[in-house]
Amino acid sequence: MTAPIWLLGCGNMGGALLRRWLGAELGPVVVIDPAPRGLPDGVEAVATPPAGRPDIIVLAVKPQLWWAATEALADRAGPTTLIVSIMAGVTTAAMARRFPASPIIRAMPNTPAGVGHGATALFSTAGDLAEGAAEALFGPAGMTFWLRDEVDFDAVTAVSGSGPAYVFAFIEGLAAAAVAAGLAPDLADRLARATVIGAAALAAADPAVPPGELRTRVTSPGGTTAAALDVLRPGLDPLLQRAVAAAAERSRQLGG
């Protein structure tokens, strides 16, 4: 893809995608952000949209601010300008009020996209050409999943969009438990990280094997893992259900 891309907002997620695009030689990319964070070397940002009309506008601003942030872009988008949003909660119908003539793609990537292991959910009614462009944008960031119903975005946001933070919190908790069990903090941190990375690699190595089967394979009856799971499992499933439900509800609230 050699289409001009305008990236509105360069925070953690926008910056992660930008680095993947540069690595895949997509672009050129214009970053529009008055206060960008962690721009890649050689990339500069502008505070306001430049002259001209882009082929793609990627909206990566906070959903609470998006309407004001896109005001200067409204007259830059036409029927051939693809609008791609990674904003939580903002619907395609809402974006169509700002960009009534443009095809719209809604996406929910996650931060592992920055290292090429992201999971991006996509939705569009814009047709095959726009969908092909979206695949080109998000393919370098990892796996893509097309949704049949836009309403599923709230659950997707709660699972994969917010999910990396749940895993990081688990690593923190596992390391803290290791320290409580007597390990030095540095060793506890390295063991917790390596354990989660290794377990994820096993899960990725054979997607046909259900996670429950993987769990069973490392759980000997009456052994140490079984003793730990007897404590962990009764509270884990309902806790995760409440966490995902809270995140999904917040996504709905952000959508207004």
- Residue ranges and CATH numbers for the domains of the chain are 5-156 (3.40.50.720), 163-254 (1.10.3730.10)
Contact 103, 130 (CB under 8 A): yes
**Residue 101, pLDDT score:** 92
Reduced to 3 states (helix: H, G, I; strand: E, B; else coil), residue 84 is strand
Residue where the block lists tokens 């119903």: 149
Longest distance between any two alpha carbons in the chain, whole Å: 69
How far apart are the C-alpha atoms of 107 and 92, rounded to whole Å? 10
What's the pLDDT at 254? 79
Question: pLDDT at position 129, please?
Answer: 79
Burial of 250 (0-12, 13-18, 19+ CB in 10 A): middle
SS3 state at 55: coil
Terminal-residue alpha carbon distance, the chain:
34
The whole-number pLDDT of residue 57 equals 96
Predicted TM-score (pTM) of the model is 0.88
What is the residue whose two structure tokens read 């991006």? 120
The owner of tokens 């953690």 is 12
Per-residue model confidence (pLDDT) at position 36: 86
* Cβ atoms of 90 and 255 closer than 8 Å: yes
Task: Give the DSSP letter string of 124-186.
Answer: ESS-HHHHHHHHHHHGGGEEEEE-S-GGGHHHHIIIIISHHHHHHHHHHHHHHHHHHTT--HH
Distance, in Å, from the CA atom of 241 to the CA atom of 159, rounded to the nearest integer, reads 10
What was the pLDDT predicted at 256?
62
Query: What is the model's pLDDT at position 3?
Result: 65
Which of the 8 DSSP states describes residue 48?
S
CB atoms inside a 10 Å sphere around CB 158:
23
**Alpha helix stretches (DSSP H) within the chain:** 12-23, 66-69, 92-98, 128-138, 153-156, 163-180, 185-205, 211-217, 224-254
The pLDDT of residue 163 is 96
What would the two tokens of residue 253 be? 């609230």
Phi, psi of 29 (to 5 degrees): -115, 130
**Which residues of the chain carry a pLDDT beneath 70?**
1-3, 256
What pLDDT score was predicted for residue 1?
Answer: 57
